[in-house]
Amino acid sequence: MLVDYRAPTVRAPVSKTHVAPAPAENSLLAALPRKDFELLEAFLEPVKLTFGEVIYGPGEPIQHVYFPTDSLVSLLTLAEGHQALEVGLVGREGMLGIPLALGVSDSPVRALIQGTGMALRMTAAHFSNELQLNALLQREVYRYTYELMVQMTQTAACNRFHRVEARLARWLLMTRDRVRSNQIHLTQELLANMLGVRRVGVTKAACDLRQRNLISYNRGQIQILDPQGLEQAACQCYQIVKDMHEVARA
């Protein structure tokens, strides 16, 4: 698969030679001082998360927390006689298993691997323990909890008010930011489940975005052609959450 490592917003041109592939880091862990990270490292185990895998089921106990490095996970809720609905999207900027940090052992949502890739994981017991001991880890985890709440809030409003096409554009952009690639592997069927609409609704929205030369796609492979144009097509919700993220990290 062709992978485009361009950063979401290009700042400085990077030499094409001697560039080690961007280290597959997790931002949350990366924000810790080296010393603190080394303390945790003993408990962290790299695992491959594969598309389609479900790491948490709603109401089920959380066995491990995960810090995605280049994988992508979506948080889904279910509702009375309807398909799933995505309430959060987690990539390298975050983690999975927040309830543990809040003293709860079960996940309220389903966590579905959306993009195959690696993550660092830790057992629930080790995490709870380390969190007690490590104030800086606490700081990062709680800050991300806040970010997740904001993302959920904005997503709720977005799902209520905005049209499928705008929401699709937003989803693609959010995914792009997290996997750092313009290539996204996902069928319209799955996409429909994220957005809480019919597959046909996605087809129509995608057709339209394609006609405008913003994206191209083929049987589960979606390519973002014009990120800026796509931002125009998306609702402001995209920018709002993104700005929040940057402010919160400042």
Partner DNA sequence: CTATTAATGTGCGTCGGCGTACATACAGTA
Partner DNA sequence: TACTGTATGTACGCCGACGCACATTAATAG
Give the pair of three-digit tokens for residue 191: 């996409």
**Taking CB under 7 A as the rule, does residue 188 contact DNA?**
yes
**Taking CB under 7 A as the rule, does residue 198 contact DNA?**
yes
User: What is the x/- site pattern for a second copy, positions 108-147, by CB under 8 A?
Assistant: xx-----------------------------x--xx-xx-
Part in contact with a second copy (CB under 8 A); list of ranges 16-24, 41-49, 62-70, 232-240 = 232-240
* Shortest Å, Cβ 246 to DNA: 29
Contact (Cβ atoms closer than 8 angstroms) between residue 182 and residue 230 = no
Q: Which residues contact 2 (CB under 8 A, 6 or more apart)?
A: 183
Interacting residue with DNA among 196, 227, 234, 235 (CB under 7 A): 196
* Shortest Å, Cβ 202 to DNA: 8
Q: Are strands 64-68 and 221-224 parallel, antiparallel or unpaired?
A: unpaired
Alpha-carbon distance values, 108 to 13, 56, 218 (Å): 43, 9, 34
* 3-class DSSP state of 244: helix
- Closer Cβ to a second copy, 109 or 224, answer by number: 109
Contact (Cβ atoms closer than 8 angstroms) between residue 22 and residue 5 = yes
Alpha-carbon distance values, 192 to 83, 152, 219, 249 (Å): 9, 18, 15, 32
Helices (H) and strands (E) in the chain, counts: 10, 10
Q: Which does 204 bind (CB under 5 to 8 A by kind): a second copy, DNA, none?
A: DNA
Interacting residue with a second copy among 63, 77, 128, 187 (CB under 8 A): 77
Binding site for a second copy (CB under 8 A): 77-80, 82, 85, 87, 98-99, 101-104, 108-109, 139, 142-143, 145-146, 148-150, 152-162, 196, 235-237, 244, 248
Binding site for DNA (CB under 7 A): 163-165, 187-189, 196-201, 203-204, 206-207, 210, 217-220
